[in-house]
Structure 1
Amino acid sequence: MNALSDLRPVLLVTGLLVATLGAAMLLPALVDLAAANDDWMIFTSASMMTMLVGLGLFAANRGAPKGLSTRQAMLMTVVSWVALVGFGALPFHWSGIVPSYTDAFFESMSGLTTTGATVITGLDNVPPGLLFWRGLLQWLGGLGIIVMAIAVLPMLQIGGMQLFKAEAFDTAEKILPRAAQISTSITLVFIGMTGICAVAYMAVGMAADDAVVHAMTTVATGGFSTKDASIGYFNNPAVEWIAVVFMILGSIPFILYVQMLQGRFRPVFRDEQVKAFLSFLGAAILAGWVMAHFSENHVGLEALRHSAFNVVSIATGTGYASTDYGLWGPHAVAFFFIIMFVGGCAGSTSCGIKIFRFQVLLEAVRQHISQVMYPNGVFRTHFNGKPIQDRVVASVMSFFFLFMAAFVVLSILLRLTGLDTLSALSGAGTALSNVGPGLGEIIGPSGNFQPLSDVQKWLLSAGMLLGRLELFTVLVLFLPRFWRS
């Protein structure tokens, strides 16, 4: 029996994660109970069912061999993510806040993948427990993404992520105990940052319940809001600047924060990925400022504020909106469409292609040009002062190709289902990059995904999962060779 045919380790981990999600459902139940809302019974029922299934899977597979093979780790990542989304959708469906399980699954997928696209209308009147659940889904999803990026993806050598492989992950057998250690430190940092963000929001006038939910979705770069008008509802410059700061902090590798707590500040200031990310944001904000100012929708410092907020929101994949930047002109539409693909740093909660991949690609181009100019010279690509292996460069190039191929295929499929071209292109882009709002009248920053058909929602849900799990993890499951011994 080969390692993959024994699914017990996969089901064991999946069961544990599902049970944890079930326990988390009790928190919004308490929120509704405190607010005297009857939805607490829905969350309690969903919690009991989810924990029953999760603990059942865990108990049935307790004798599973320790450690995961590479193929088991890939399967576990996809299976657990889909299972969590499926159970996370239950409160949405049972509450009746959405008309179908399709909508509930879409909302849950958008939450756990920290995409931020929503099908719920009338958020201002939604019960507090459901608003809290949406925020908690994104918060848990953001935390899971960081741990996955540090523990799982480097081991699987996906899309160049092996650049960030820690020495402790040299073998698959070490992944679970080491992941448990490192996730504890990151969870504490994550909780601390969320708490500080919530206090900051409250300090500038946001109500406590709104502040907690927005803090969870800001630090997780998720973008779910408690209001239909998103952050724009508060019409408060201080709120927007706080969001800008914490969206950026959420897009920086969390392992650097752990190192800072250990008294190691040098890596933060020397990290080439962080420097490139901040430089990109600075340039993009200036470009956005010019467009906003000359569109005459916003001028001067107001234009700078809206540019900073919306550029950071879209580039980091958060997806909050403070204004309809589609009104800044056709060049602005193209600009925001392009930056939605960029993303933040690897090892953070942000999504998209990620800054480090652009850096590796530029290094490869620089090396190739140097080799053409000086055929007898020896040139090496470097990242963070260390040589980049050829297989890492090949892996990054493969990721770019697959990302673009997935974008084209998803765009065509959405177009064939009847979506207009702009909505199809931006919908595919925003799903794969886990950004949230698209472009156009339907799914733009002032729109909503509710009008889309069920087929379109399932396609976008698949796109969100594909983008969040870095493409290879999902696509490799469709290869017959993957299932052979």
Structure 2
Amino acid sequence: MLKLFKPVLYVCGLLSLLMAGLMLIPAITGWVQQDSETYAFVFSSIVTAVAGTVLVLSCRSHHFSLTPRQLYLMTSCSWVLLSVAGALPLIFGHGEIGITDAVFESVSGITTTGSTVLSGLENMPHSLLLWRALLQWIGGLGVIGMAVSILPFLRVGGMRLFQTESSDWSDKSLPRLGNLARLLLGVYSIITAACILGYWLNGMSLFDAVSHALTTVSTGGYATDDRSMGRFDNGILWVSILFMLLGGMPFVLFIRFMSNPSPKALADEQVFGFLVIVAVLAVIMTFYLIQYDYYEPFDALTQATFNIVSVITTTGYASTDYSLWGGFSLIFFFFVTFIGGCSGSTSGGMKIFRFQLSYLFLHRQIKMQVHPRGQFSILYNGKEVEDDIIFSAVAFSFLFFLTLVFTSMILAMTGLDYMTSLTGAATALTNVGPGLGDIIGPAGNFKPLSDTAKWVLCFAMLLGRLELLSIMVLFTPVFWRG
């Protein structure tokens, strides 16, 4: 058993040291501004660094390779560890935050969900607001790395469709994996810097520009004000739309474009489908808002596009309370919640490629009904898709909705109404952020929920972020045999 856990604990130790270093950024910010959170970040950094050092020194090895079982463990343990470490400054610092709320805020941040239990954000210390943004930024980077290097290797939910040479965790492949990590970090940082500049040039303060850029590119959605993005003008909203869309696209494509700057490098069926769906949904909602006189035409286009992009990329920003747009809007945004962005992006949700594969599979089944002896292949990005990838995607979809049902029922048992239970479960599993209804809607907050409901939602957020199977496999007897 020690052999199974030793490499996993070593990686967790390295991540602890990374988190300890990140905590010094808000600590310095707090020291410069002389706010009350400075010592909480310093103390949390020391505790996290000590724990990380102990794990690294006690579990280091000359040879580093991970088996599939260890990768499953590492994926789940590392996200839990990051969530716990991220909660420490909230526990030791802000007096109004209890352990449950601190862990909830941290899990929501590191999984880039964006659900919050905090209110009065505009009056909180900048160090605390910056820490929330950093949690989402590092979580978004982790999501990309997991999607391009770990989940395809583990054949999770059809992700083998995106397997590359870097989806290999043997000794000989680690240099290639390290190179990919550096390229991803570079692209991620460049897009974040461009987003900061875009926000700042359009009128945001430098602090707001940095904080919102970190949570826009990571499609996390934490804001620095209870009004979310509702206090900004249309220019800033369109900047946000652009970078939320970039955050919802595969980052491997951006790396490919950097090495070969041509339109062909960006050609991808998943991206095309993603942009078409966004455009169609935005047009439908814009016409609806104009028809019922909610906004003038340009404002209707801006509000519709911004909130649709925010939900479909699972960012979770809100420029207004769209649940007040009538019954059609409630149903509309509820179903948009499930779609998600592209695989290899920072977005959550079910992912565009699974909908595309499901359509192609259905189309093939219809043709086979007409021509039972026919042989029909499914092509995706010009390559034939093997049946096991289709079956894996279908299994994921079934498990997703089964989990949604059980999570909703458990939340209802804690005393929540059906709207809050259903949309709370949905927004946690898809990592969107706001739900629907008076309590957790776009203008609401998760603070009124019971501690039990919050812990259930924490687990659901981790399940959704890790594509369900990565965690659920740990609860099966077959995983622990042998």
Q: Deviations over 1:75-130 (max 9, x none)?
A: 00001110110011011111125431100000000000000000001000010000
2:419 aligned residue: 422
Verify: 1:265 aligned to 2:262, yes or no: yes
* Alignment match, 1:243: 240
Query: Equivalences for 1:3-82 in 2 at 5 Å?
Result: 5-63=3-61, 65-82=63-80
CA distance in 1, matches of 2:165, 2:190: 27
Which residue is 1:213 aligned to? 211
- Three-state SS of the structure 2 residue aligned to 1:179 is helix
User: For structure 1, which segment, 420-429 or 172-181, has the greater mean C-alpha deviation from structure 2 after superposition?
Assistant: 172-181
Q: Secondary structure at the match of 1:441?
A: coil
Q: Which amino acid aligns with 1:163?
A: L
Secondary structure of 2:368's partner? helix
- Tell me what 1:436 maps to: 433
Give the Cα separation in 2 of the matches to 1:269 and 1:263: 10
Farther off after superposition, 463-472 or 294-303: 294-303
**Which residue identity lines up with residue 57 of structure 2 in the other structure?**
A
Taking the aligned partners of 2:207 and 2:365, their CA distance within structure 1 comes to 54
- Does the aligned pair in 2 maintain the 1:85–1:105 contact within 8 Å? yes
Does structure 1 residue 225 correspond to structure 2 residue 223? yes
Partner in structure 1 of residue 310 of structure 2: 313
CA distance in 2, matches of 1:447, 1:53: 37
After superposition, the C-alpha distances for 1:201-221 in whole angstroms (9 at most, x for unaligned) are 111110000100000000000
- The structural deviation recorded for 1:372 is 1.1
The one-character-per-residue Cα deviations of 1:145-164 (angstroms, maximum 9, x if unpaired) are 00010010000000000011
What secondary structure, in the 3-state scheme, does the structure 1 residue paired with 2:342 have? coil
Output one character per residue of 1:245-279: Cα deviation in whole Å (capped at 9) or x when no partner.
00001111001111111125345442000000000
Classify the secondary structure of the residue corresponding to 1:412: helix
Instruction: Assess if the C-alpha contact under 8 Å between 1:218 and 1:247 holds in 2.
Output: yes
| Equivalence for 2:343 | 346
Greater CA drift, 452-461 or 29-38:
29-38
State the one-letter code of the partner of 1:87.
A
**Matched-pair contact (CA < 8 Å) for 2:341–2:349:** yes
Inter-CA distance 459–240: structure 2 relative to 1 (3 Å threshold): same
Match of 1:372 in 2: 369
Do the aligned residues in 1 keep the contact of 2:257 with 2:266 (CA within 8 Å)? no
What CA distance in whole angstroms lies between the structure 1 residues aligned with 2:398 and 2:173? 29
Show the counterpart of 2:387: 390
In the alignment, structure 1 residue 108 sits paired with structure 2 residue 106: yes
**CA distance in structure 1 between the partners assigned to 2:115 and 2:45 by the alignment:** 24
Residue-by-residue CA offset, 1:277-318 (whole Å, 9 max, x unaligned): 000000010111123223432231111110000000001000
Q: Secondary structure at the match of 2:438?
A: helix
**Length, aligned pairs only:** 482
Letter in 2 for 1:42: A
Q: Distance in 2 between matches of 1:373 and 1:174?
A: 49
- Note if contact 2:419-2:437 (Cα within 8 Å) is conserved in structure 1: yes
Displacement after TM superposition at 1:377 (Å) = 1.6
Q: Percent identity?
A: 44
Q: Distance in 2 between matches of 1:20 and 1:334?
A: 42
Match of 2:139 in 1: 141
Give the match's secondary structure for 1:120. coil
Change (3 A) 1:25 1:156: same
Matched residue type, 2:353: F
Runs of 4+ with deviation above 6 angstroms:
none
Task: Tell me the TM-score normalised to structure 1 length.
Answer: 0.97
Task: Name the amino acid aligned to 2:339.
Answer: V
> 2-side partners of 1:322 and 1:212: how far apart?
19
Is the Cα–Cα contact under 8 Å of residues 254 and 266 in structure 2 kept in the other structure?
no
Matched, 1:448 2:407: no
Structure 2: gaps of 5 or more residues: none
Residue 361 of structure 2 aligns with an amino acid whose one-letter code is A
Contact 1:291/1:332, CA 8 A, preserved across alignment: no
Question: Aligned letter for 1:449?
Answer: F
Distance in 2 separating the partners of 1:105 and 1:475? 21
Residue pair 1:21, 1:84 contacting (<8 A) in 2 also: yes
User: Counterpart amino acid of 1:192?
Assistant: I
Aligned counterparts of 1:403 and 1:215: Cα–Cα separation in 2? 30
3-state SS, counterpart of residue 282 of structure 1: helix
Give 1:210's aligned amino acid: D
Q: CA offsets, 1:342-373, max 9 Å, x none? A: 00100000110000011111111111111111
Answer whether contact 1:151 1:175 (CA < 8 A) is retained: no
